[in-house]
Structure 1
């Protein structure tokens, strides 16, 4: 069995999808770079702090050892070093004395000697400290090739005050390395978790960022679908009429009325589509102004084509705040729906209509088969109109009502038929009602 083909996305939808992925990737990349820089800074700071702490301990031990060295009768005395805690453990402490005419030699080695440092490295550190007459740092390697750190502090001859040698502390670079590696592992795990969270957050935020574009694209696609659906019938009628007129022996005059009706229908479709485009834009949709609702309904009823569908009018003087152009489209669509579906049984050419204006409400009643109020939500869906309609009319009426803070409802008409009620928001209170009415006497098309 062949698999059903998945619907292909339009190029615009694919571009929006790629844009969302790029935004997610950019957000994630920025987060990764930021976390990497922060982790490097933390690790570098921790390593430097660990190094400084090691050197501070080496300086303390070497300084204590240098202070415990003294001379008695030109002989170096080291008895104070053997019992002091500064010469045990790590860092290891050694004492080198300069002999006349020769290199420094080791005269004391701490009881704990974990490092076998070559004598040449110890002598070089001692000579540097003696020449500088101050603490000197250096790096070296023991006999196994492992790195070690050296810090030499000079000591002086008690009788001559000359530099006589140096106490050398040998430190282990791997001291505290386990904690440093644990910190690095923790940073790696934390950065990975934060990166995953950033990717998820970026995906959500990018989706919200492109949501207006998605909505605009969906509105455009709906508008195009409406245009194709609505224009198909009148265009087909006009094309068929033109083809028949071209081959008719009596000329095209007999087909002109049909072509004219199709052109009128196309004009109504274009006006509906423009109104729907305004509503889909969702920005400054309703330009509410004081409006004489009864006068507008009377004008729309007078524009109905033919004489067999003239409705009975019951109009009360009514002023509301509304957009005249949108309300005109909504009322005309209600009337078109009633003319199409409101025929009495046995009278297919005549629609029995009653149009009432009462406050901010427009009632359009017919004698058709009626409508179940529970099915109104399904009825006002696009392209769901039964009986040959296109389905956009009542959907547009509902949108206009909601844009004005109202609603579209339906109920059974006593004696048979349906009553559709277009309810708009009531007019706002005005200090000067007469001045407000005066602005509504001129109706806008």
Structure 2
């Protein structure tokens, strides 16, 4: 079984779709760039804070150890170091005493010997601290090649007031690394989730921002479809009539009435399309002003009667707030629909139409097969016409009624047939006044 062929998008729709994707991508990339910069700052700040906290702890331990070293009778005393918490645990603490003319020697090691750092590195940072007479930071590696941090704080001989050595704290760069990695992982996961949310939000917002463009494109496509659908029949009739007239002995005169009817039909089509274009564009849709509805309906009925159709109308004086051009199109479409479909096949004697104006309502009754009121929504859809018409007339009537805050309804006519009722908004300035004089006039061709 062959797979159904999916309809291809028009170039305009493809361009709008690509534009929406570009807007979504741009919104997502901007979000990614912002989150990347923010994450980099957070990671860098956390790393610096972790490093500063480690060095602060090393400085505290080394300073405490240096303060506990003292000299008595020219000999260094370290008895206070063994019992102090600063010399246990991490960072590890060592005490080196300077030797005249030689390298400093280690005279104390903390109880926790965690790092096996080469003596040359420790002696080097000790000499630097003694020479500068202040705390000194340095980096080194233990015997396994892992990086460690060194911080030396000098201490003095109380008798001579000279630098006698330094307390060295050995710190572990891996300390706090687990928390740092957890922070980085949290930032990566959070940034990914926010990026996905930003992409979804950007897609939705770009779709909403482009909705007017989509609606305008759909309106244009509907208008073009209506034009092609409506104009195809009268153009074909005119072309066929001209071709037949060119070959017929009687010449063109015998076919002029048919060509004229096709031209009139094309004029009605153009008028319908212009009215539909106004409604679809929603720009200055209804230029409402007081309108004598009975006089307008009388003019339209007279035009339809001139075409050879029996029309009877009963008009009461009525004033409504409406757009005369749109109401004329709606009434003409109702009458055209009644002329085309409001008769039983083979029964032309029952083809008379009755048009009534009562207040803000226009009633168009025919003697056709009738219409089920439940089918009205179906009949007022575009291109839905059971009797061979174009199916746009009733749809346009409904749109015009809605634009005037009114409605279009249908019900069965007593004795057979259907009654379509177009209701408009009444004139506010005349609301509450009595009805005018009714006029009844029948014209049959």
Normalized against structure 1, the TM-score is what?
0.92
Task: Quote the residue 2:440 is aligned against.
Answer: none
Tell me the SS of whatever aligns to 1:229. Answer: helix
Q: Which moved more, 1:383-392 or 1:301-310?
A: 301-310
Task: Quote the residue 2:321 is aligned against.
Answer: 321
1:119/1:244 CA distance change after superposition, 3 Å:
same
1:140/1:428 CA distance change after superposition, 3 Å:
farther
Measured after TM superposition, the shift of residue 46 of structure 1 is 1.6
Equivalences for 1:54-69 in 2 at 5 Å? 54-69=54-69
In 2, Cα distance between equivalents of 1:252 and 1:349: 32
State whether residues 97 and 164 of structure 1, in contact with CA within 8 Å, keep that contact through their aligned partners in structure 2. Answer: yes
In 2, Cα distance between equivalents of 1:218 and 1:92: 76
1:109 corresponds to 2:103: no
Measured after TM superposition, the shift of residue 311 of structure 1 is 2.2
In 2, Cα distance between equivalents of 1:375 and 1:18: 40
In 2, Cα distance between equivalents of 1:306 and 1:320: 27
Task: Quote the residue 2:194 is aligned against.
Answer: 194
State whether residues 365 and 419 of structure 1, in contact with CA within 8 Å, keep that contact through their aligned partners in structure 2. Answer: yes
1:403 corresponds to 2:403: yes
Task: Quote the residue 2:243 is aligned against.
Answer: 243
Task: Quote the residue 2:214 is aligned against.
Answer: 214
* CA-to-aligned-CA distance 1:375-404 (integer Å, 9 cap, x gap): 111111111112221110000000111111
1:345/1:110 CA distance change after superposition, 3 Å:
closer
* CA-to-aligned-CA distance 1:132-188 (integer Å, 9 cap, x gap): 322121211112111011111111221222222211111000001111112222222
Tell me the SS of whatever aligns to 1:48. Answer: helix
Task: Quote the residue 2:253 is aligned against.
Answer: 253
1:37/1:420 CA distance change after superposition, 3 Å:
same
Measured after TM superposition, the shift of residue 337 of structure 1 is 0.9
1:70 corresponds to 2:80: no
Task: Quote the residue 1:441 is aligned against.
Answer: none
Tell me the SS of whatever aligns to 1:163. Answer: strand
1:7 corresponds to 2:12: no
In 2, Cα distance between equivalents of 1:421 and 1:331: 10
Tell me the SS of whatever aligns to 2:428. Answer: coil
State whether residues 308 and 350 of structure 1, in contact with CA within 8 Å, keep that contact through their aligned partners in structure 2. Answer: no
Report the number of matched residues. Answer: 432
Task: Quote the residue 1:440 is aligned against.
Answer: none
State whether residues 62 and 151 of structure 1, in contact with CA within 8 Å, keep that contact through their aligned partners in structure 2. Answer: yes
Equivalences for 1:6-45 in 2 at 5 Å? 6-45=6-45
Measured after TM superposition, the shift of residue 430 of structure 1 is 7.6
Task: Quote the residue 1:443 is aligned against.
Answer: none
Tell me the SS of whatever aligns to 1:286. Answer: coil
State whether residues 238 and 262 of structure 2, in contact with CA within 8 Å, keep that contact through their aligned partners in structure 1. Answer: yes
In 2, Cα distance between equivalents of 1:87 and 1:345: 114
In 2, Cα distance between equivalents of 1:202 and 1:110: 59
* CA-to-aligned-CA distance 1:323-360 (integer Å, 9 cap, x gap): 11111111110111112122366553873111111111
State whether residues 319 and 430 of structure 2, in contact with CA within 8 Å, keep that contact through their aligned partners in structure 1. Answer: no
1:345/1:243 CA distance change after superposition, 3 Å:
closer
Q: Which moved more, 1:379-388 or 1:415-424?
A: 379-388
Equivalences for 1:75-90 in 2 at 5 Å? 75-90=75-90
Tell me the SS of whatever aligns to 1:399. Answer: helix
Instruction: Name stretches of at least 5 consecutive residues in structure 2 with no aligned partner.
Output: 434-445
Measured after TM superposition, the shift of residue 247 of structure 1 is 1.2
Q: Which moved more, 1:84-93 or 1:410-419?
A: 410-419
Normalized against structure 2, the TM-score is what?
0.92
In 1, Cα distance between equivalents of 2:219 and 2:288: 23
Task: Quote the residue 1:292 is aligned against.
Answer: 292
Measured after TM superposition, the shift of residue 194 of structure 1 is 2.5
1:163 corresponds to 2:177: no
Task: Quote the residue 1:139 is aligned against.
Answer: 139
In 1, Cα distance between equivalents of 2:291 and 2:123: 105
How large is the RMSD of aligned CA atoms in angstroms?
Answer: 1.9
In 2, Cα distance between equivalents of 1:246 and 1:286: 46
* CA-to-aligned-CA distance 1:233-281 (integer Å, 9 cap, x gap): 0000000011011112222111111111111100110110111111111
In 2, Cα distance between equivalents of 1:30 and 1:247: 71
Q: Which moved more, 1:218-227 or 1:58-67?
A: 218-227
Measured after TM superposition, the shift of residue 408 of structure 1 is 0.4
State whether residues 309 and 350 of structure 1, in contact with CA within 8 Å, keep that contact through their aligned partners in structure 2. Answer: no
State whether residues 87 and 110 of structure 1, in contact with CA within 8 Å, keep that contact through their aligned partners in structure 2. Answer: yes
